[in-house]
Amino acid sequence: MEEFIDERQVRTDANKCPQCGSELTYDIETGNLKCGHCGHAVEVDDGGAVVRRAMTDEIIKSHEQWKEGAVFRCNNCGAKGVLDKKSLSKCCAFCGSPKVVCTQELAGIKPDSVIPFQITRESARARFLKWLKSKFFAPGKLKKMDKDEQFNAIYGSSWSFSSNTNTRYSGTLGRRETRTRYVNGRAQTTSTVRYFRVSGDIQQNYRDFFVHSGDQIQSKTFDKLKPFNLSHLKVYRQEYLAGIFAEHYSRAIDVCFNDFANFIKRDLRNRIMRKHNADVVQSLNLNTAYSDKAFNYVLLPVYIANYSWKNKLFNFFVNGTNGKVVGKYPKSGWKIFFTIFGIAVLAGAAVLGFLLLS
Pairing of strands 151-183, 245-247: parallel
Sign of CA dihedral 251, 254, 259, 263: positive
CA-wise closest residue to 232 among 52, 50, 25: 50
pLDDT in tens, 78-129: 888 887 666 655 678 888 888 888 877 777 888 999 999 999 989 998 998 8
Rg of the chain over Cα atoms, rounded to whole angstroms, equals 27
Pairwise CA distance, residues 152 & 18, whole Å: 27
What Å distances lie between residue 314 and 151, 216, 333, CA to CA? Answer: 12, 12, 17
> What residues pair up with 102 in beta bridges, in sequence order?
3, 72
For the purposes of burial, counting CB atoms within 10 Å of the CB of 57, is it exposed (0-12), middle (13-18) or buried (19 or more)? exposed
Which helix (H) or strand (E) segment holds residue 59: the answer is: helix 57-61
Residue ranges for the chain with pLDDT beneath 50? 1-14
Pairwise CA distance, residues 59 & 299, whole Å: 20
- Whether the model clears a pTM of 0.85, i.e. scores above it, the answer is no
> What residues pair up with 189 in beta bridges, in sequence order?
180
Contacts of 95 (CB under 8 A, 6+ apart): 74, 76, 77, 79, 306, 308, 313
pLDDT the model gives residue 164:
97
pLDDT in tens, 21-71: 777 888 888 777 788 778 888 877 766 788 899 999 888 888 888 887 788
